[in-house]
Structure 1
């Protein structure tokens, strides 16, 4: 979710509660488009991170420091000259714009009290940090914008600062109903899109939430809505925006499994399918969300080569599997040729020379059938032809049956590796998956490369009843958990007929409660190919019943007696041990 005006309002509230009247102790510029201000309020010390990055503009409070260049950039030196040791006397947001204005009091060279403004614009690729004097003239900015770059506004020293109103949007805070209705009806577009195109600081996610609260389909054109429906929508819009004006913020991150999907300063009820985690601070939300997203993005980038290897092998084996199935279907009539040969032996003695067919009683079905014959051959030769065809197709069937099983096992194995890549959380996890692919022959080990040290560990959960549950992240871990870590009396769980993780529940000789069985089954369902399905069938059995066939691939097991249960794959509420 992009920074919208509501998120900025939440940040302004937090900054007013924490750093207002604080002194700026240090000013650093770690990146070309980023400032790091160390601020000392009445108690303690905090750091304010301000990034005007075109790809990821941010502003949040942090306690972490960042390394800075040996020589400070010019903009950083200018700020140090003017506002070092200055006091932050005002933090505001104009309208519901994605803009934060810091009013800073400081002493000039003559010791006189002066006031300057540091204006932070969080506007995607147009984000900027602008330093202005008391009269609103730009002293300098972290990014210079010339007339050649923008026909709307120049951001250069000596120019007057103003907020460009390119979209002609209305302030959503306290807008009259008449103006609200008029704005929506003037937009020939779906009502959800009309809301975020008409009002400042509202993102598509917030517009969707307002429509959801009003019970209105956001795709319905605003021009087709009745007056009563628009009046109802306005009331929900007003109630929602009152949370902003009254600073009733509820910072939270919405997760799909372990992946953060959205964050918000206000409750988003239309995200009922996601798990929600609430926070006391919007800065903590921003830090957590973007660090998690950054980690996931980095892991996906680093796993791209492994995914390509697995995907290529999967596509090759799936094509082979389809071809083998087609060839197997061609052998379905093999028994017919055996019957033909037997019937020719039985009834062919009275055939006329040069006969093109034999009509005979099939004593297997008690029906009359016609058997094509080669008139150039004797009955014995025709019978031999059909027996030869039967034997050839029988051999083909037997060979293909074995090959199809091998190919299917290979596909299942590769799909399990693909699932391992999906749930990998760290580079150590990827290292172990790569090692597995090397051992399985899908990647060739470089002659100079040594076998790497594996530090990745299985997921570790604790059930509501206090039992320890372990989940393999890949096939090597599955093998280690099942055949080296687990005892015979521990319980083993796995999604039925689906690639996925082995789940081990340590019993310590105790009997497991039903709730622990269900939680372990949920883990097995969640960490399988069927994750996300409403109901997943999970097999479970005591570990001593699980065997590994000789020569099978890592993680492949067999068991001949088991229990099963249908369970959902939602693991919300199951405690993970980090």
Structure 2
């Protein structure tokens, strides 16, 4: 698996001020038409104004608490009590106000009344406070009706949040408020009083500052926020003062400029790499991508763990069957002993506990134990019975062992695809994962977590794509279904098919024009890629087979991507030499595949 960076920037006070101002301008007042909760951290309010309909997202996610206008949520069943309680009380009321409960606190207060201008009947508080984030619905007198997350007195002696208790705001901050009219000398003296890092001096001496905002200020000035305040020059202090005043002016005038930055996002216009028309569009894009990447990475890790557990169980089964087969090897010795006894019945005398006879073939002396209460004939009959029993066991166990080994090979193939899943944004990893889940279910492995919801995916999913030194395309399947499609739908008869020899991995197709033979460099490049996208990725060298696609044949009754091949040649691939810097993704329709009328007559 190739992980992507998924560390999340939290929604700080500056962002909350910006988005609340925007929402108040665009969506207040609005009628509540729907309430929908999609998971334990995200709630959507369906809004209707005089001119439009839309959705307001409220999130108390421990890493991504926020609120903003949002596209319509996914159409999924809502089984959450919290949303049902909110709909029962807020349904068809009007959202009449939306603002911070205190200008320098991260608590948003949403007012609901029968119509604009009337006193609020309900307050919905969204506390945007990292892992302590929450949503609380209260009566006008502050009595709590319901919470997204109930906090008992055992959980918090300072501030429990439970139905029927009086809502208390989070403990007030004690730092001074930032003011535009504060003199530079007073501001400078406050920050330099104790020789600590600049970031600590700012955050401890003033409200409303986040570490992200301090870093933004430092990047604008090219000052390390961890520099000790005693080492900052006076001209740099004056520059920092100017940036400080700019921040306060933007807050006061609500002249925000939203956009993505290399480190995350900003609403102050500093270091923007991609601009957005609205704060909501910025927050929707940023958090949807990063939360989706986190969830995807968790799903991939969970599936990998489940596959390992299944693999371990099958290996234990195979071990049991192998041990039974090792016992079956004794069957021939029982038959040999029985045959010897039958041929030498006359040598037995009553009371014998053993008899020594020469083997028919090797003439070696064999000692045969005899029960004192049985004669030679009875002993021979017992040995024949043991032989027949073990022979029947062999006939039963061998197919079972073969079936288990087939399942082990299949799961190893799936494990390889999961471990090597590309998680880059344009790789459509959710679609690949959904296909893997679907295929596993068809093969009898329902490993989807209960909370898994497949995202809507396009009909086609891009292949991994490379280019040879001579400029020919190389396509790599990313799961068994893609392997199947790549080999039997998009490969032409004159294309070359590559695969790590007897090792789980991807099907790789080197696309060639008719009548063209690849160069040695092209063959080695493709072999390196096939070796890299195999279970032996971390080996120095991997044997890779290749053959024209016309010499491949599906194996009936086997999972997708299972083939027979002939006329193969072997070449050594070096995974470390795979040209990963060339990696792109292309959709099948971009490859202009040709119909293969001979596909059904391919033999292996």
Q: Could you say which TM-score interval applies, normalised by the shorter chain?
A: 0.5 to 0.7
* Kept in 2: contact 1:75–1:140 (CA 8 A): no
Alpha-carbon distance in 1 for matches of 2:588, 2:267: 26
Q: Greater relative contact order (Cα 8 A, min sep 6): structure 1 or 2?
A: 2
Deviation at 1:40, TM superposition (A): 0.9
**Unaligned segments of structure 1, at least 5 residues:** 255-260, 312-412, 439-454, 512-516, 530-541
CA distance in 1, matches of 2:510, 2:181: 56
Alignment of 1:329-344 (within 5 A): none
Following the alignment from structure 2 to structure 1, what is the Cα–Cα distance between the partners of residues 216 and 551? 51
Counterpart for residue 304 of structure 1: 305
Partner-residue secondary structure (3-state), 2:219 = helix
Aligned to 2:229: 222
Give 1:160-309 correspondences, 5 Å limit: 162=169, 164-166=171-173, 168=175, 170-171=177-178, 177-178=184-185, 180-182=187-189, 184-186=191-193, 189-239=196-246, 245-250=254-259, 262=264, 265=267, 269=271, 281-285=281-285, 286-306=287-307
Q: Distance in 2 between matches of 1:236 and 1:198?
A: 17
Specify the SS of the correspondent of 1:97: coil
**Alignment partner, residue 487 of structure 1:** 492
- Structure 1 residue aligned with 2:29: 21
Q: Is the 8 A contact 1:486 1:504 kept in 2?
A: yes
Matches within 5 A, 1:77-226: 79-80=89-90, 84-92=92-100, 94-106=102-114, 113-115=118-120, 117-131=123-137, 137-140=141-144, 142-143=146-147, 150=156, 153=159, 159=166, 162=169, 164-166=171-173, 168=175, 170-171=177-178, 177-178=184-185, 180-182=187-189, 184-186=191-193, 189-226=196-233
**How well do the aligned residues superpose, as a CA RMSD in angstroms?**
6.4
Q: Secondary structure at the match of 2:23?
A: helix
Contact 2:494/2:550, CA 8 A, preserved across alignment: no
Q: Secondary structure at the match of 1:18?
A: helix
Structure 1 contact 99–120 (Cα < 8 Å) conserved: yes
**Cα pair distance change 1:470/1:227, threshold 3 Å:** same
1:473 aligns with 2:456: no
2 CA distance for matches of 1:45 and 1:510? 60
String of CA shifts for 1:251-289, please: whole Å, max 9, x gaps: 57x7xxxxxx9555566749x9xxx79685135323343
In the alignment, the residues of structure 1 paired with residue 311 and residue 227 of structure 2 have an alpha-carbon distance, to the nearest angstrom, of: 43
Q: Which runs of 5+ in 2 are unaligned?
A: 1-7, 313-412, 424-428, 446-457, 517-521, 535-545, 553-560, 591-604
Q: CA deviation at 1:123?
A: 1.1
Deviations 1:61-112 (A, max 9, x none): 34226544597789537733xx84224245457435322222444369xxx9
CA shift digits 1:522-548 (9 cap, x unpaired): x979x979xxxxxxxxxxxx9969999
How far residue 204 of structure 1 moved from its aligned partner, in angstroms, is 3.1
Equivalent-residue separation in structure 1 for 2:42 and 2:418 (angstroms):
38
Q: Which residue is 1:420 aligned to? A: 420
Aligned equivalents of 2:99, 2:257: Cα separation in 1: 18
Question: Alpha carbons of 1:510 and 1:57: their partners in 2 closer, same or farther (altered >3 Å)?
Answer: farther
CA distance in 1, matches of 2:240, 2:547: 58
Structure 1 position 431, deviation (Å):
7.1
Q: Is the 8 A contact 2:493 2:550 kept in 1?
A: no
Give the structure-2-normalised TM-score. Answer: 0.51
